[in-house]
Amino acid sequence: MIEYVVPGNIDDRILRRGADLLTAGGLLALPTDTSWSVVCSITARGGVKRLKELSAEREERHFTLLCGRISQFGEFCSMDNTRFRLIKQLTPGPYVFILKTLLGTEKKLGLRRKEIGLRIPDHPVPLALIGKAGAPLYSITAKRSLISDGNRQDAAPARDGDFPVILEEELFEEGWELEALDGIDLILDSGEERQRVCSSILDMSDGEVRLLRAGAGPWPV
């Protein structure tokens, strides 16, 4: 089901409904400052399970924590002053930051890796939903290969550096297109055509900052 929202004046009743669905283990689709994302609550194990089943990805680097502010990064990851300043400079914006997790984060989020990707999108819809939900959202990029038509691609994807490339034609532009995805409980549609582009991924987990995937965010800055 689609709910249409005005980005600068989002109906609180719709936000509350979205937050309640997330708490109950639901999946929502929403716009970001790049393409569309599918999200669940990090506190709902059923939602995380459903999101992983939808994505069919074993590699946890395909999943990102959408946060509303940098202070939420500190709940899951360690940052020195240099990394903090760079993240502050680039947020909100089209960047995913790979950081080392704090002790206990893997168990808390059910991770098998000691790194996680985090980002603060520059779009009012996900930021408002994060605020209403009271916690970051676990997310994947919405793409056409998630449609259950029996035609998932098994061939190895093209790669940009260390990270698989999501081709432009794989991404959605308008909210109604996401109705083809199975298991989405609600689509929050701001009525805008989204860019068919992904975020840039910066690995900040060790030593020098390294670009894993070039995207909408320029690097170096």
Domain boundaries, the chain: 2-213
pLDDT of residue 103: 81
pLDDT of residue 149: 60
CA 131 vs CA 69, 72, 112: distances in Å? 10, 11, 27
Fold category of 2-213 in CATH: DHBP synthase (3.90.870)
pLDDT of residue 119: 97
pTM above 0.85, yes or no: yes
Cβ neighbours of 195 (radius 10 Å): 17
Count the alpha carbons within 13 Å of 109 in the hemisphere toward its beta carbon. 29
Intervals of the chain under pLDDT 70: 58-61, 110, 112, 149-164
Cα–Cα dist 62/139, whole Å: 9
